[in-house]
Chain A
Amino acid sequence: MTIRINDQSLELEAETDVQSLIDRYLPASRHLIVDINGEIIRRESWRGWPLRDNDRIELIQLVGGG
Chain B
Amino acid sequence: MMVGDQPLVIAGREIRNRFFLGTGKFQSKEMMRETIQAAKIEVVTVALRRIDLHSPTPENILDFIPAGTVLMTNTSGARTAAEAVRLARLSREAGCGNWIKIEVINDSRYLLPDNLETLKATEQLAADGFVVFPYMYPDLYFARAMAKAGAAAVMPLGSLIGSHQGLKTREFIRIILAEIDTPVIVDAGIGTPSQALEAMEMGAAAVLANTAVAEAGDPPGLACAFTQAVAAGRLARLSSPPQPRDLASPSSPLTGFLYSSHDPG
Query: Nearest-CB distance from A31 to chain B (Å)?
Result: 5
Q: Are A60 and B50 in contact, CB atoms less than 8 angstroms apart?
A: yes
- Hey, which chain B residues are within 8 Å of A65, CB to CB? 22-24, 45-47, 74, 76, 210
- Hey, which chain B residues are within 8 Å of A32, CB to CB? 51, 94
- Hey, which chain B residues are within 8 Å of A30, CB to CB? 60, 62
Tell me if A17 is interfacial: C-beta within 8 Å of chain B.
no
Tell me if A26 is interfacial: C-beta within 8 Å of chain B.
yes
Tell me if B57 is interfacial: C-beta within 8 Å of chain A.
yes
Closest residue on chain B to residue A40 by CB atoms:
B93
Q: Are B61 and A63 in contact, CB atoms less than 8 angstroms apart?
A: yes
Give CA–CA (A16, B233) in the complex, Å.
Answer: 57
Query: Nearest-CB distance from A28 to chain B (Å)?
Result: 8
> Of residues 29 to 53 in A, which have CB atoms within 8 Å of B's CB atoms?
29-33, 35, 40, 42
Tell me if B140 is interfacial: C-beta within 8 Å of chain A.
no
- Hey, which chain B residues are within 8 Å of A33, CB to CB? 48, 90-91, 93-94
Instruction: Out of B46, B93, B95, B210, name the residue touching A63 (CB < 8 Å).
Output: B46
- Hey, which chain A residues are within 8 Å of B168, CB to CB? none
Closest residue on chain B to residue A5 by CB atoms:
B53
With A25-B53, A60-B49, A61-B49 known as contacts, the answer to whether A66 contacts B93 (CB < 8 A) is: no
Tell me if B263 is interfacial: C-beta within 8 Å of chain A.
no
Query: Nearest-CB distance from B196 to chain A (Å)?
Result: 14
Tell me if B142 is interfacial: C-beta within 8 Å of chain A.
no
Q: Are A62 and B62 in contact, CB atoms less than 8 angstroms apart?
A: yes
Query: Nearest-CB distance from A32 to chain B (Å)?
Result: 7
With A8-B53, A29-B51, A30-B60 known as contacts, the answer to whether A64 contacts B32 (CB < 8 A) is: yes
Give CA–CA (A40, B86) in the complex, Å.
Answer: 9
* Residues of A in contact with B, size category: 20 to 34
> Of residues 49 to 98 in B, which have CB atoms within 8 Å of A's CB atoms?
49-53, 56-58, 60-62, 73-74, 76, 89-91, 93-96
Query: Nearest-CB distance from B226 to chain A (Å)?
Result: 14
Query: Nearest-CB distance from A3 to chain B (Å)?
Result: 11
- Hey, which chain A residues are within 8 Å of B49, CB to CB? 60-61, 63
Tell me if A6 is interfacial: C-beta within 8 Å of chain B.
yes
> Of residues 10 to 31 in A, which have CB atoms within 8 Å of B's CB atoms?
10, 25-26, 28-31
Q: Are B73 and A62 in contact, CB atoms less than 8 angstroms apart?
A: yes
- Hey, which chain B residues are within 8 Å of A66, CB to CB? 22-25, 45, 47, 74, 76, 161, 208-211
Instruction: Out of A25, A35, A64, name the residue touching B23 (CB < 8 Å).
Output: A64
Query: Nearest-CB distance from B27 to chain A (Å)?
Result: 11
Chain A residues close to B by CB (< 8 Å): 5-6, 8, 10, 25-26, 28-33, 35, 40, 42, 58-66
Smallest CB-CB A-B distances: 8 pairs? A65-B47, A66-B22, A66-B210, A64-B23, A64-B24, A6-B50, A65-B24, A59-B51
Chain B residues close to A by CB (< 8 Å): 22-26, 29, 32, 45-53, 56-58, 60-62, 73-74, 76, 89-91, 93-96, 161, 208-211
What 10 additional pairs, Cβ within 8 angstroms, besides A64-B25, A64-B26? A6-B51, A26-B51, A29-B51, A30-B62, A62-B46, A62-B73, A62-B96, A63-B48, A65-B74, A65-B210
